[in-house]
Structure 1
Amino acid sequence: MMKRKINCESARAFPIEKALAKLGHFPQRTAEKEAWFLSPFRSETQASFKVSKTMNRWYDHGEGIGGNVIDLVCRILKCSVKEALAYLNQDWSSFSFQQQQHFNTNDIGITITKIQNIKHPALIQYLNFRAIPLQIANTYCSEVWYTFKDKQFFAIGLQNNKNGWELRNRIFKSSSSPKSYTHLQRNSKHLIILEGMFDLLSLAVMNGSLIKDSDVMVLNSIAFIENVETHISNYEIVDLYLDNDSAGQNATLYLTKKYSHINDQCDAYKNHKDLNDFLCHERKG
């Protein structure tokens, strides 16, 4: 049966807390009827953004504005109502709000046609640009060929737990459906949580034994924090290597406050956006 698309009326019932989690914002404190967040609209140290759980409405005391979940998504992502509905409906598995190329995989589709070891010169050049040796890239990723709008493309691909692919080349980033996280399991009691495929590859360059001896979770989207939480209690030690942006920092704060056995490892790449930015800086130096 075809999945029914969300409309404005049904979208208003989408829990605001869940929408904020998808966007990388997590509560500073919660009660039975409300939750308080750092405002997603500006930098602040005291939570002034309230979500009413009973009414499913938000109010930003710092700006004196509020609304429903559609208003919130539109404002945070600077997108139209139609795009906000698509985001809440998860219709666009690779929807980009940074003006990058994006694909509506449900409507027009990415079709995977070939998977092989990475050997295309353009992809090898891209790996060199990102300071990733080919051997390491081929250990965790593949060269993925696919069609989109009757045209053929290729990219570096990381397969997720639902057999979808995260796709990256020098021009764009995208993904094929279904979108999910990637869990590399080695029966270890130590879990490493990373945000994207190049964080995985970068840590493999910087500390290959750590990656090989640990279980690894690549989120592929900060939105999957909620999904991977179910695995956290299975581990004795969990190390976070999330991006040094507001979404990554908020997710890190949320997890480290909630779980005593989670460690924030971002000091290893402080003053850099992420692990790959740090790696590239070190290699250039």
Structure 2
Amino acid sequence: MTYKEANNISIKDYLNSLGIQPVTEKGSYGMYRSPLREDNTPSFKVDYNANLWCDYGTGEGGTLIDLVMKQNGCNAYGAICRLEQGDTTSFSFHGKDLPERDTKRQAASPIEIRRIQPLQNPALMRYLQERGISPGTAAPYVQEMYYRIGGKPYFALAFRNDSGGYELRNPRFKGSTSKDITHIRQQGEPREKCLVFEGFMDYLSFLTLRMKNCPTMPDLDRQDYVILNSTANVPKAIDVLFPYKRIHCMLDNDEAGFRATQAIALEYSYRVRDFSDNYRGYSDLNDYLCGRKQEQKNSTSQAQEIKQETGQRATPKQKRGRGI
């Protein structure tokens, strides 16, 4: 079951499968006693048309996956697994069924996964260090994947997203098995603040900077995190950002990053702050961590292009003569 398929399940039918019936119904919506807490007066609204819920007692709301995550204290992947284990044949679906081409596209993925294991490959750990990130910082969030493309073997860092796919990175490859956001929620009470990053290297860079600047109290668990994994995933991020009172965007300093920040700000206005000014002059948070300014990157890439166009090769080192 994909993320979209799970969110397409009717919330009304899901609650009914748990034995939870509406106290009152008024056509397009129903009022329930909250399944998330003790609720003597029905303050849990389900909008049947939009297939969304809102708990007026806590100010929270969202999609079906958000509800299952809240009930079970799990991430989106765990919520999808729980929905799959239930009797999905009794559920109706909101809106149109997903076209079969989505399933076919996933089945036709050129990446054949061989195995996934904890981070230990020296080449991948060296790659992280070159990006200014220690393997110890990355290990809780990143694994290593061994896979094949066209029969040829490869390996890369693997960062899991909410639909169970992986973002893949190595020095020569940037891709994914399937695209989705990664929503990292802290345990315990819901957090009021969420930080939004464009890619997982930026997220790991933030963790590195925070631990470097505040080694005694990094406070990494005081907020939740959303990693877009692609600016095309902004609509998915907007859905999960609904409950947060403060949204801090730390996206790339380019047109795509600015547009993504504007789209989130357009939805949540005063709750959104653009923190990209803190690393203005750098392409992204990882370049800021590594001290690579945009001008330096541009001049380096231009020099490489000139060499490629002119066929110029690097000047070979002179051989040392023998000593007397």
- TM-score normalised by the shorter chain: which range applies? 0.5 to 0.7
Determine if the alignment matches structure 1 residue 130 to structure 2 residue 113. Answer: no
**Contact 1:108 1:148 survives alignment (8 Å):** no
Distance 1:213 1:143 in 2: 28
Aligned-pair identity (%): 34
**Contact 1:238 1:261 survives alignment (8 Å):** yes
Q: Deviations over 1:110-143 (max 9, x none)?
A: 1222222211111111111100001011021111
Question: In 2 relative to 1, CA 235–274 (structure 1 residues): closer, same or farther, beyond 3 Å?
Answer: same
Partner of 2:114: 113
Letter matched to residue 274 of structure 1 = D
Partner of 1:198: 201
Q: TM-score, normalization: structure 1?
A: 0.60
Unpaired runs of 5+ residues, structure 2, are 1-99, 212-217, 293-324
**Contact 1:195 1:242 survives alignment (8 Å):** yes
Task: Report deviation, 1:268.
Answer: 1.7
Task: Report deviation, 1:108.
Answer: 5.0
Find 1:219's aligned residue among 228, 241, 249: 228
Distance 1:139 1:212 in 2: 14
SS at match of 1:213: coil
Task: Report deviation, 1:90.
Answer: 9.0
**Contact 1:114 1:146 survives alignment (8 Å):** yes
SS at match of 1:123: helix
**Contact 1:136 1:205 survives alignment (8 Å):** yes
**Contact 2:109 2:177 survives alignment (8 Å):** no
Question: In 2 relative to 1, CA 265–108 (structure 1 residues): closer, same or farther, beyond 3 Å?
Answer: closer
Unpaired runs of 5+ residues, structure 1, are 1-88, 92-103
Find 1:228's aligned residue among 215, 237, 240: 237
SS at match of 1:207: helix
Task: Report deviation, 1:158.
Answer: 0.5
Letter matched to residue 287 of structure 2 = D
Letter matched to residue 254 of structure 1 = A
Distance 1:212 1:146 in 2: 33
- 1:1-285, aligned counterparts within 5 Å? 106-107=107-108, 109-177=110-178, 179-186=179-186, 187-208=190-211, 209-259=218-268, 260-281=270-291
Question: In 2 relative to 1, CA 124–189 (structure 1 residues): closer, same or farther, beyond 3 Å?
Answer: same
Return the index of the structure with the highest Cα Rg.
2
How many aligned positions are there? Answer: 185
Distance 2:201 2:194 in 1: 17
Task: Report deviation, 1:217.
Answer: 0.5
Q: Which is bigger in relative contact order (C-alpha 8 A, separation at least 6)? A: 1
SS at match of 1:234: coil
Letter matched to residue 244 of structure 1 = N
Question: Over aligned residue pairs, what C-alpha RMSD do you find?
Answer: 2.6
Distance 1:90 1:196 in 2: 27
SS at match of 2:291: helix
Task: Report deviation, 1:105.
Answer: 6.0
Q: TM-score, normalization: structure 2?
A: 0.53
**Contact 2:192 2:246 survives alignment (8 Å):** yes
Letter matched to residue 117 of structure 2 = Q
